[in-house]
Amino acid sequence: MAGKEFKLIREPDALYEVTYILDAALGPGEGREPHSSGIEFAAGHYERRFGLSRAVCEKWFTPLREIERHVTDGLALSEEVLRRDYRAPNEALSPPSALVRHAMRYDLSVEKLAALIYNEAASIAPGDEGNRDELSLEEFVRLMSGLDEHEAPLYHRWNMLDLCVNWERRFAEISSVLRRGEELYMEKVSLAEPLIGEWYGRTKEALDDGGLDALFDGPLDLTLPDGLYIVRPGLECFASTSIILDSLLTDPGGKGPWELISGVLTQSLARTGAFSMLRFQDSLKAVADKKRLDILAALREGPRSAGELASITGLSAATVTHHMQILFNAGLVGLELRGARSIYSLNRGGVELLESDLREFFGQ
């Protein structure tokens, strides 16, 4: 592969590449046959999408089988370590970087991964009836990057090809973020563990008593002794690790590695069947910030403009507009234009969906 560079047409953020690489280890999912691996699903997709034979498609994905095996083994190892060393409610309180690093430290070197992929792509036998004779690695990667919008998850999932080619540079960038996150985590974990247990008990009790209203009227925010907050129970109770994300992985006034770590934790929980990753993928990002919880609580009283929400929550109008776009995309709020004003309202269906998965998480 010397001298070759591959740049995807639509290259996602490096953090999302690492998040979605773990999705290869999740096993059966939406659109897949039971017990079908992600690789078999992807091969079938390309067979249907581009009219290529199953034999050709499966040969492309042969090197990814080795990668998938290492990802799966890495996740199993990390789960074993976390169960042994980091006991907590639902066994979900875990150092995020340990999970990621165990999952990504393959026995295969970067060079071997790249060589496997290149050799498989280059060795596709010509003359396959009804199909193109051969696809180079460049064409293969280009096909993967040209998926339309509704196929984006599949595109991200198999973007590990590009990730392998650029592995060393990106892993160095990401691991530096993770190391700092783990340092902060370990400093605070002794303070957080008893609070997490209390948080779970109080949130479950509120959900039992209040139903949908518990999403907004649950127990008060928990605060660590050093003044950092843990967000309000309710919308966050589907993952104990995500409720301590802002307080344990973010320097005061700084920005933590939310996209990477929340995605990894979500997928590890989805792998255990705790909740539907596909259903929660957007909602997780939409409800993680306490500001958005305050906005949703304000909308319970009735439709509001961005200006009215800013006045109620104490946020700037620009901040409200930014968060409303995220909440709208997650299906938690609706939007109506009245003259020159945008009026937002609470989407009860979206919130009820959150409650449904929340109850499922608690086994109710």
Task: Map residue 304 onto helix, strand or coil.
Answer: strand
Q: Using an 8 Å Cβ cutoff, are 39 and 61 in contact?
A: yes
Distance, in Å, from the CA atom of 18 to the CA atom of 163, rounded to the nearest integer, reads 8
147 sits in the region (left: phi over 0; alpha: psi -120 to 50; else beta) called: beta
- Nearest alpha-carbon partner for 79 in 87, 89, 67, 68: 87
pLDDT at 272: 38
Per the DSSP assignment, residues forming a β-bridge with 341 are 338
The letter for the amino acid at 263 is G
- Nearest alpha-carbon partner for 94 in 69, 71, 70, 77: 77
- Backbone φ and ψ of 222, nearest 5°: -90, 140
pLDDT at 346: 83
Per the DSSP assignment, residues forming a β-bridge with 5 are none
Largest Cα–Cα distance of the chain, in whole Å? 69
pLDDT tens-digit profile of 113-138?
Answer: 333 333 433 443 333 333 333 444 44
Sort strands 333-338 and 229-230 into parallel, antiparallel or unpaired.
unpaired
- Backbone φ and ψ of 124, nearest 5°: -60, 125
Task: Map residue 192 onto helix, strand or coil.
Answer: helix
Domain segments of the chain as ranges: 14-171, 289-364
Task: Map residue 274 onto helix, strand or coil.
Answer: coil
- Backbone φ and ψ of 66, nearest 5°: -65, -40
> Tens-digit pLDDT profile for the chain (364 aa)?
232 222 222 222 222 332 333 333 333 333 333 333 444 544 554 455 445 455 555 554 444 454 445 444 444 444 444 344 333 333 332 332 333 333 333 333 333 333 333 343 344 333 333 333 344 444 444 443 333 333 333 333 334 334 443 434 444 444 444 454 445 444 544 444 454 455 445 555 655 665 545 444 444 443 434 333 333 333 333 333 333 333 333 333 333 333 333 444 444 333 433 333 333 333 333 344 456 667 777 887 788 888 888 888 887 777 787 777 767 766 778 888 776 677 888 887 766 665 565 455 444 4
pLDDT at 233: 33
Task: State how far the alpha carbon of 252 is from the alpha carbons of 255, 259, 307, 353, 357, in Å.
Answer: 8, 18, 28, 33, 31
Q: In this structure, which topology does domain 289-364 adopt according to CATH?
A: Arc Repressor Mutant, subunit A (1.10.10)
pLDDT at 335: 81
Q: Using an 8 Å Cβ cutoff, are 163 and 19 in contact?
A: no
pLDDT at 320: 81
